[in-house]
Each structure stands twice: as C-alpha cells, then as structure tokens.
Amino acid sequence: MPKECDDLDCFIITLNKCVTQVMDELAPKRNIRLKGETLKPWYSDAIHDARRKRRSIERLLRKSGLEVHRQMLKAQRKVVVNMIDQAKSDYIRDSITVTEIIIHIKGKETVMMPEICENTTELSKPLKPRALENKMATSRVNPFGFRVKAL
C-alpha cells in the first residue's frame, strides 16, 4: 500500500491510475475502422442469413466433395447475389427523389425542382446544329463510305 494513501478509496484510485498507465504503454488504444456489412445501408438480416447459409454449404462441400453439395452451393450463390443486387437497386431507387434532378444547362450544373422551376422551357427547345447549318441540311453521308455527297 502506497504511503500517500491512508484509506481504501484513495488506494483504489491510485491503483486504477497505475494500471491504466501501464496498459496504455503496453497496449495503447487504437481507433479501428469497421468494415463490412454494418456500414452498407442496403444490407439486411435476410441477406445476412442467406450468406451464412452459403458459407455452411461451402463448408459442407469442402468436407464431403459431393456433386449434390456443389449444385446446392451454386444455387445458393445465385440467391445471395440476386438478393444483394435487388437490395442495392431498391436502396438506390428509394434514395433518388423526383423533386431533385441534376440537369446541365449551358455547361453549369444546377439543381432543378420541376414543380417550381421557371426555366423548364429551355429543356424543350430543339438543339441547334453546331456549324454549317445550310451545308448539313443539303448533304448526306454515304453509309458505305466516308465521302459526303451533295443532294
């Protein structure tokens, strides 16, 4: 018992400080980055159960080597991949809202709200040809060659 601690509470506090200092030196705290399914918003319990079933079939196939288990694994792989693809597409479809559409107008990226936007008539205008409007209107391209023939 240290000399500066006379009662039990002081001794426990001092002991805790000493133990935490030793632990910090021997095994310091590290920040870890969680990877995997917990961070994916489309991941569900059904997908998790299907993946667990796939892993159990993989272990069974490795243990037995039978063709029946190989076919079961092939079918379960397809089930898991289809479930993941469907969940991803559902998540993406649900996250895109109809009211917020990104449209490129005159080289600028703008966010338009179709219900309240006044410039929606710009979208319905036909595009102008880039150059030589008259020549383009009176000539055609031969599909079997690269020569331009006049009409």
Nearest to 78 by CA among 57, 54, 43: 54
Tokens 């002081």 -> residue: 10
Per-residue confidence (pLDDT) for residue 129, from 0 to 100: 52
Q: What is the pTM of this model?
A: 0.43
pLDDT in tens, 39-87: 688 888 999 999 999 999 999 999 999 999 999 999 999 999 999 999 9
Q: At 3, is the pLDDT very low, low, confident or very high (cuts 50, 70, 90)? A: low
Helix (H) or strand (E) holding 102: strand 101-105
Q: For residue 98, is pLDDT > 50? A: no
Q: Give the dihedral of Cα atoms 130, 133, 139, 143; nearest 10 deg.
A: 20
Cα 55 to its chain centre, rounded Å, is: 23
4: left (phi over 0), alpha (psi -120 to 50) or beta: alpha
Across residues 84-91, what is the average pLDDT? 91
pLDDT for 74 equals 97
Helix (H) or strand (E) holding 149: strand 148-150
Q: What is the pLDDT of residue 16?
A: 92
Q: What is the DSSP letter of 127?
A: P
